[in-house]
Amino acid sequence: MKISRLLLAVILIGIFYGFFKIFFGVVLKQPIPSSLLTMYMFFVVVGILLVLSFTEEGARELMSPIKNLLENPEKKMMRMVVFVIVSVLAGYITYNQIKPSFEAPLELRTIHPAPPSNFSAFNKTYNLLTLENPFRKYAKEDPEKFKTLVYEGGEVYFKNCFYCHGDKLDGQGHYAQGFNPLPANFMDVGTIAQLQESYLFWRIATGGPGLPKEAAPWISSMPVWQNFITEEEIWKVILFLYDYTGYVPRSWEKH
Partner 1 sequence: MRFLTKAIVSIFIVLAFILSYPILTPASKSSLAFAEEVKKDASASSVKEEKAKDKPAYPPAPKLKETDYPKIKGFNGRIVIWLAAQLHLWFAAFVLAVPIFVLIIEGIGMATHDERYDKMAYEFIKISITAYSITAVFGGLLAISLMVFYPDFMKYMTGIFGSSMLAYAFLFFAESASLYIYYYGWNWLNCGFKKWVHLTIGLVLNAVGTTLMFLANAWVTFMMSPGGVDAQGVFQGNSWAAVHNFLWNPINLHRTIANIAYGGSVVGAYAAYRFLSAQTKEEKAHYDWMGYTANFIAIAALLPLPFAGYWLTAEIYAYSQQMGITLMGGVFAWLFIIQAVLIGALFLSANYYLWCGMGRSEGAVRYNKYIKYIAFVIIACFLVWFTPHTLVMTQTELKALGGPYHKYLGPLGIMPAKNTAVNIMILFTFLSFLLYRRANKIATVSWAKYGNIAQIAIFTGAIINIVFLGVYYGYYTNTALKVGSSVPQVASTLFVIILCMIIDVFMFKGAKDVAPLKWGNVPDRSQYALFLLAVSFTWLMGLMGYIRSGIRQHWHVYTIMRDNSPDAYTPTIGYAAQIVSIAVIIFMAIVIFIFWLNQISSKKH
- Residues in contact with partner 1 by CB under 8 A are 24, 28, 30-36, 39-40, 43-44, 46-47, 50-51, 53-56, 59, 103-104, 106-117, 128-129, 171-172, 180-182, 185, 188-190, 193-194, 196, 198-199, 214-215, 247-253, 255
Give 154 or 183: the residue with its C-beta nearer to partner 1. 183
How far apart CA 46 and CA 30 sit, in angstroms, is 25
Shortest gap between Cβ of 241 and partner 1 (angstroms)?
A: 14
Q: How far is the CB of 183 from partner 1 (least distance, A)?
A: 9
Residue 125 φ then ψ, to 5°: -110, 130
Helix (H, G, I), strand (E, B) or coil at 195: coil
CB of 60 to partner 1, least distance (A): 10
Q: What is the DSSP letter of 87?
A: H
Are the C-beta atoms of residues 191 and 238 closer than 8 Å to each other? no
Least CB distance from residue 9 to partner 1, whole Å? 12
Indicate the residue among 47 and 178 with the shorter CB distance to partner 1.
47
CB of 16 to partner 1, least distance (A): 9
In this complex, which beta carbon is closest to partner 1, that of residue 115 or of residue 207? Answer: 115
* Cα distance between residue 92 and residue 85, in whole Å: 10
Cβ-based nearer residue to partner 1, 188 or 232: 188
Q: For residues 170 and 167, give the distance between their C-alpha atoms in angstroms, rounded to a whole number.
A: 8
d(CA 198, CA 205): 10
Smallest distance from partner 1 to CB 174, Å: 15
> What distance in Å separates the CA atoms of residue 89 and residue 255, rounded to the nearest whole number?
59
- From the list 135, 171, 141, the residue with the least C-alpha distance to 153 is 135
Question: Residue 76 CB: number of other CB atoms within 10 A?
Answer: 9
For partner 1, the closer of residues 152 and 188 by Cβ is 188
Nearer Cβ to partner 1, position 61 or 152?
Answer: 61
